């Protein structure tokens, strides 16, 4: 197992007063390391400005030359209301309401002051600042400044490297999304000019920042961060040097290889806690927790949740390859919680949060889990967000099922400050079913998963990136069995880590390991917005009796009166002719089992390929049908209506309705009393 662990070597270098440089990187790289950054940045906390210089060493790893470079300038999404991101979110009422809260100092920008080619192989130093131009490759919105193109004086040939020095300034926003400041807490992400990805086909993959997450090449980050003395810092990588500058500032140097992004956080309020993750057959990981003072009671819970993620993801998919991880407890209302960055993630919790609320557990497992899909597989989230979010939602749910009790109903009252747990009311895990998407205008029909993420229609991103792919994977697991499924996922992880896989890469692994052509499954789940809905149709059990009418008797036709039979089961020898219809209401097809239980205790399990609109099962038995369960093991998690999958002869609806209506009535009477207070 390869791991980044150059610390012994670094210690030697530090002993001689030197830190590592890119040229001295001693370990076997895990990735192609195409985009490498050395940065020196200073944060002015009062003005909310970051002034920085970065040396970018970029390698063209394709068979095509490029005459330009493209960069992400994410902060420009909050330059003004004309950006493409604002265009996409302004329809949301909550966003419009929050926008009123923003003032002059709350907006943001990334300003590239200068860009210079440095001396190197095939290059001479040259200032190319005049060759910068903003482009809008996705929507043509000229007001959007989130992609910067820099024309080069000559192409970068295949296999060649270019080194650039970029001087820039970033204005830190009051958080619009994930990154920003509140009070004296700064969470800095997507903050520096970041080069896009030059793809194998010779084109730049550098999308505008509209509604998706991110995509970049792996590389080495060597970053010096200067902040006021006494402010704690957490960042991607490990701190390898700390220097008091004597002017009220301290410089923290962080280093990490084989990552594709760099984020950091600083505030004077953190307390720092360290523990170690140790599990048989998995590498040791140092865990560093940065905790805010109002969440000190969450210390053990953060560590336990991180351990659960490292343990189960490691055992199921593949080991976490770095020897450290930083857990950031985000400041209250900072907007920076619940997000992942390489070797660092933000959790999130409340001051009062009983364990049943699964906060910080749920978000911690999820964000720690992102280290595997987002951090190590690193697919293009602009285009296939589901390969990260869907995979991670599925993985999170599975881990929570292993590590924590079943989820129960919780509520928060008094402006959300006071939590109350209702332990007797079980709620569904996220991949338990698709019933919330039931309906003619089901949300699942808004778009198909295969639509590029940045092109999803309104309200389709979350569902198609998180819920649906997670349920798709759950269904696949149920269909193939855990052993095969786990082998698929671990093979996919090992084969494609650090390589930016695409959906077809995953599908190929599925077919290979399962030894089945699962195209039929992915065509319906990934390439279409068709829904699954199987249901019990009509169920009848009629006693067999002599039918009324003419019968042949002694060569003559004679009329015979029908046998009068009471259908009350008083005759144990009475035979019954039963029919069970199972229907397919949805467009999508899936092989389905149906379990029929008779009132003598006998059970029959029928299989159906699920292709036609309905199927009928007939029986002649000395018993009536008592219960029908379509898909009794709930393998087809994507079925949008689980309730119509079952039928019982003696339904419990009346007593169930009375029970819950009586509870509702107590609520109503209580409400009436509150109304009467104002009389």
Partner 1 sequence: MKISEAFKKGAHNVLQSKRYVLLAYVISVLLALVLAVALSASLTDSLGNSLAGENLRKGFDPLWYSNFSAAARGLSTTFEPGVVGIGAVLKGLDQMLGGEIFHNDVAIAGVGILYLLLWTFFSAGFISLYAASEGQPSFVERAAAFFPRFLLLAALAGVAYFLLFHFVLNWLNNAVEELTRETIDERVHFAYVAVKYGVVWLLVVGINLIFDYSKIFVVLKNHANALSAPWHAMRTVFSNFGSTFGLYLSIGAVWVVLILLYWLVAPGAGQSSWLTIAGAFFLGQIYLLVRIGTRCLFYAGQTAMFEAVTSTDHESDGYTA
User: Which residues, 21 to 80, sit near partner 1 by CB under 8 A?
Assistant: none
User: Is 185 a binder of partner 1 (CB under 8 A)?
Assistant: yes
d(Cα 48, Cα 471) in Å, to the nearest integer? Answer: 42
CB 540 within 8 A of CB 597: no
**Eight-state DSSP code of residue 420:** E
Stretch that binds partner 1, among 235-243, 309-317, 423-431, 504-512 (CB under 8 A): 423-431
Minimum CB distance to partner 1, residue 87 (Å):
27
3 state SS for 88-121: HHCCCHHHHHHHCCCCHHHCCEEEEEEEEECCEC
Stretch that binds partner 1, among 321-329, 359-367, 427-435, 459-467 (CB under 8 A): 427-435
What does the per-residue mask of binding to partner 1 show for 85-114, with x meaning CB under 8 A?
Answer: ----------------x-------------
- Region 432-491 residues binding partner 1, contact defined as CB under 8 A: 432-433, 435-439
Residues 6+ apart with CB under 8 A from 256: 4, 220, 221, 236, 237, 238, 262, 322, 342, 343
User: Is 670 a binder of partner 1 (CB under 8 A)?
Assistant: yes
Residues constituting the chain: 679
Minimum CB distance to partner 1, residue 423 (Å):
7
Give the residue with the Cβ less far from partner 1, 281 or 633: 633
Minimum CB distance to partner 1, residue 405 (Å):
15
Give the residue with the Cβ less far from partner 1, 63 or 459: 459
- Residue 161: count of CB within 10 angstroms of its CB: 17
DSSP string, 318-367: ----BSEEEEE-PPTT-S--SEEETTEEE----SS--GGG-TTHHHHHHH
Q: Among residues 420, 560, 567, 602, which is the contact residue for partner 1, using CB under 8 A?
A: 420
User: Is 679 a binder of partner 1 (CB under 8 A)?
Assistant: yes
CB 325 within 8 A of CB 344: yes
What does the per-residue mask of binding to partner 1 show for 231-270, with x meaning CB under 8 A?
Answer: ------------------------------------x-x-
Helices (H) and strands (E) in the chain, counts: 12, 34
Stretch that binds partner 1, among 7-15, 392-400, 551-559, 664-672 (CB under 8 A): 664-672
d(Cα 650, Cα 656) in Å, to the nearest integer? Answer: 13
Q: Among residues 27, 99, 272, 661, which is the contact residue for partner 1, using CB under 8 A?
A: 661
Minimum CB distance to partner 1, residue 421 (Å):
10
Give the helix ranges, DSSP H, for 5-115.
7-15, 84-89, 93-99
User: Is 133 a binder of partner 1 (CB under 8 A)?
Assistant: no
Give the residue with the Cβ less far from partner 1, 517 or 673: 673
What tokens were used for 193?
A: 């000019």
Minimum CB distance to partner 1, residue 663 (Å):
5
3-state secondary structure (DSSP) of residue 647: strand
Give the residue with the Cβ less far from partner 1, 133 or 668: 668
460 burial via Cβ count (<10 Å: 0-12, 13-18, 19+) = buried
- Region 370-409 residues binding partner 1, contact defined as CB under 8 A: 409
Q: Among residues 133, 428, 575, 605, which is the contact residue for partner 1, using CB under 8 A?
A: 428
Burial 304-322 (b: 16+ CB within 10 A, else e): bbbbbbbbbbbbbbbbbbb
Minimum CB distance to partner 1, residue 477 (Å):
18
Size of the site for partner 1 (CB under 8 A): 77
Stretch that binds partner 1, among 16-24, 120-128, 431-439, 555-563 (CB under 8 A): 431-439
- Region 346-365 residues binding partner 1, contact defined as CB under 8 A: 350-351
């Amino acid at each position: 197992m390869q791991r980044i662990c150059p610390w012994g070597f670094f210690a030697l270098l530090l002993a001689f007063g030197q830190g590592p440089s890119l040229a001295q990187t001693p370990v076997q790289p895990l990735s192609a390391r195409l985009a490498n950054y050395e940065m020196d940045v200073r944060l002015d906390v009062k003005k909310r400005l970051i002034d920085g210089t970065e040396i970018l060493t970029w390698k063209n790893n394709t068979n095509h030359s490029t005459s330009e470079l493209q960069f992400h300038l994410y902060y420009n999404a909050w330059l003004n209301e004309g950006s493409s991101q604002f265009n996409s979110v302004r329809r949301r009422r909550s966003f419009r309401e929050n926008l009123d809260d923003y003032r002059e100092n709350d907006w943001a920008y990334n300003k590239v002051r200068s860009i210079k080619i440095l001396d190197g192989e095939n290059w001479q130093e040259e200032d190319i600042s005049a060759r910068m131009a903003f482009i809008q490759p996705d929507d043509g919105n000229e007001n959007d400044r989130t992609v910067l193109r820099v024309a080069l004086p000559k192409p970068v040939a295949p296999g060649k490297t270019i080194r650039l020095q970029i001087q820039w300034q970033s204005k830190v926003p009051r958080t619009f999304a994930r990154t920003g400041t509140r009070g004296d807490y700064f969470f800095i992400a997507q903050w520096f000019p970041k080069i896009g990805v030059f793809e194998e086909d010779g084109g730049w993959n550098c999308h505008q920042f509209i509604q998706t997450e991110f995509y970049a090449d792996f590389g080495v980050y060597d970053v010096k961060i200067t902040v006021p003395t006494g402010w704690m810092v957490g960042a991607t990588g490990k701190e390898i040097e700390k220097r008091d500058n004597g002017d009220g500032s301290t410089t923290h140097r962080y280093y990490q290889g084989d990552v594709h992004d760099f984020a950091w956080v600083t505030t004077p309020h953190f307390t720092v806690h360290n523990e170690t993750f140790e599990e048989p057959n998995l590498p040791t990981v140092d865990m560093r927790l940065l905790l805010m003072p109002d969440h000190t009671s969450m210390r053990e819970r953060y560590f336990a949740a991180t351990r659960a993620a490292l343990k189960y993801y490691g055992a199921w998919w593949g080991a976490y390859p770095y020897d450290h991880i930083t857990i950031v407890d985000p400041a209250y209302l900072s907007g920076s919680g619940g997000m992942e960055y390489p070797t660092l993630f933000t959790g999130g919790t409340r001051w009062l949060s009983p364990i049943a609320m699964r906060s910080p557990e749920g978000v911690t497992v999820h964000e720690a889990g992102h280290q595997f899909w987002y951090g190590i597989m690193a697919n293009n989230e602009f285009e296939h967000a589901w390969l990260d979010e869907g995979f991670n939602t599925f993985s999170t749910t599975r881990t929570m099922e292993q590590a924590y009790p079943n989820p129960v109903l919780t509520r928060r009252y008094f402006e959300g400050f006071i939590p109350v747990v209702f332990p007797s009311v079980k709620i569904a895990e996220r991949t338990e079913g698709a019933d919330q998407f039931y309906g003619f205008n089901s949300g699942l029909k808004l778009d198909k998963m295969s639509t590029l993420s940045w092109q999803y229609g309104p309200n389709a991103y979350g569902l198609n990136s998180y819920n649906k792919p997670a349920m798709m994977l759950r269904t696949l697991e149920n269909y193939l069995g855990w052993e095969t499924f786990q082998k698929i996922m671990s093979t996919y992880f090992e084969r494609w880590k650090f390589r930016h896989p695409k959906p077809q890469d995953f599908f190929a692994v599925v077919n290979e390991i399962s030894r089945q052509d699962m195209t039929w499954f992915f065509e319906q789940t990934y390439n279409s917005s068709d829904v699954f809905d199987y249901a019990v149709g009509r169920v009848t059990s009629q006693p067999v009796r002599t039918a009324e009418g003419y019968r042949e008797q002694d060569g003559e036709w004679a009329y015979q009166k029908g046998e009068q039979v009471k259908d009350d089961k008083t005759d144990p020898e009475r035979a019954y002719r039963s029919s069970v219809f199972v229907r397919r209401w949805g467009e999508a097809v899936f092989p389905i089992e149906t379990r029929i239980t008779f009132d003598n205790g006998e059970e029959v399990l029928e299989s159906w390929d699920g292709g036609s609109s309905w199927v009928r099962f007939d029986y002649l038995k000395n018993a009536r049908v008592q219960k029908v369960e379509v898909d009794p093991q709930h393998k087809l998690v994507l079925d949008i209506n689980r309730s119509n999958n079952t039928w019982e002869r003696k339904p419990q609806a009346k007593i169930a309705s009375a029970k819950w209506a009586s509870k509702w009535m107590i609520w109503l009477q209580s409400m009436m009393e509150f109304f009467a207070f104002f009389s």
